[in-house]
Amino acid sequence: MVSGNAITASWRAGSTHGRAARALAWAATLWFVVTVAGQLVFAAYVVLLYGGAAVRGSFGQWNTVMTHGHVAGDGVGNAATGIHLLMAATIMLSGALQLVPRLRARAPAFHRWNGRLYLVAAVAASVTGIYMIWWRGAVGDVVQHIGTSVNGLLVLAFAGMALQRIRMRDVAAHRRWAMRLFLAVSGVWFFRVGLMFWLAVNGGPAGFDPGTFRGPFLSFLAFAQFLLPLAVLETYLVCRARGGAGAHWFMAGVLSALTLALGVGIAVATVGMWLPHM
């Protein structure tokens, strides 16, 4: 016979674990909402600045922020830049819709077609981005270029894995690879937001030369822009699947802290970089 104390202890343990699981779910949801909001602002910035300039035929305005955005006589390079910008805006909009569970459940056909669009846009943005770094010219040093190129190669790999898994009807694995793809695709966005958070915390440039855009912090950020989010995701997946109440509370705290940092970075980037050019 099970004692009353044992039943009470079991109920309390279940209640504690349930609260921890709910806290983790809320923390993950808040992170996603803040991230998507920031990416939608960035998408609006890309559309209004670069898309608006293209519609007006004022391609020289692409050089307002971007180095070598438009180079007279370089048809291939200009086309690659245009495709990259278009795909960047598409990714921000499409990715936000692709990861909403309720939309995925209620509109499976839309989820499938939007997923195809997202994969094509991710691959195109990655290929053109790598081309722009090494053949078009970009700010920063070789270490930064290598970091961003590795990020681009991971996008291609994760896109391939997500496609392979869904073709095998392994939905659970497909979703995990889709989440990894979402984070890898967002790497350059994380770079911008992370840099703005760093500037806000330090009250200005620290660990790099703003004139040359080179320095140890930027070299670190070129790899952290994708390695840190991916590491957090893997930890989150393990904690959610096999962790106890303590692990859930810990992960909820980590996600909450990261969401706060993201919020600061997004606010600074929006006010300082994006809104003035929209």
What does the block give as tokens for 209?
A: 């030369």
What does the block give as tokens for 219?
A: 């070299």
Residue 15 lies in a domain: no
Please determine, for residue 217, whether its predicted confidence score (pLDDT) is greater than 80. Answer: yes
Residue 50 lies in a domain: yes
DSSP 71: -
Residue 205 lies in a domain: yes
Residues 126-147 have pLDDT tens digits of 999 999 999 887 888 999 999 9
Please determine, for residue 5, whether its predicted confidence score (pLDDT) is greater than 70. Answer: no
Residue 156 lies in a domain: yes
Residue 4 lies in a domain: no
Residue 11 lies in a domain: no
Residue 32 lies in a domain: yes
Residues 244-274 have pLDDT tens digits of 999 999 999 999 999 999 999 999 999 999 9
The alpha-helical segments, DSSP class H, found in the chain are 4-46, 52-56, 75-98, 101-106, 108-131, 142-167, 171-185, 187-202, 216-242, 245-269
Residue 37 lies in a domain: yes
Counted domains in the chain: 1
Would you say the pTM of this structure is higher than 0.85?
Answer: yes
Burial class (CB in 10 A: 0-12, 13-18, 19+), 270: buried
> Three-state secondary structure along 137-195?
CCCCCHHHHHHHHHHHHHHHHHHHHHHHHHHCCCHHHHHHHHHHHHHHHCHHHHHHHHH
| Domain ranges, residue 36 | 28-277
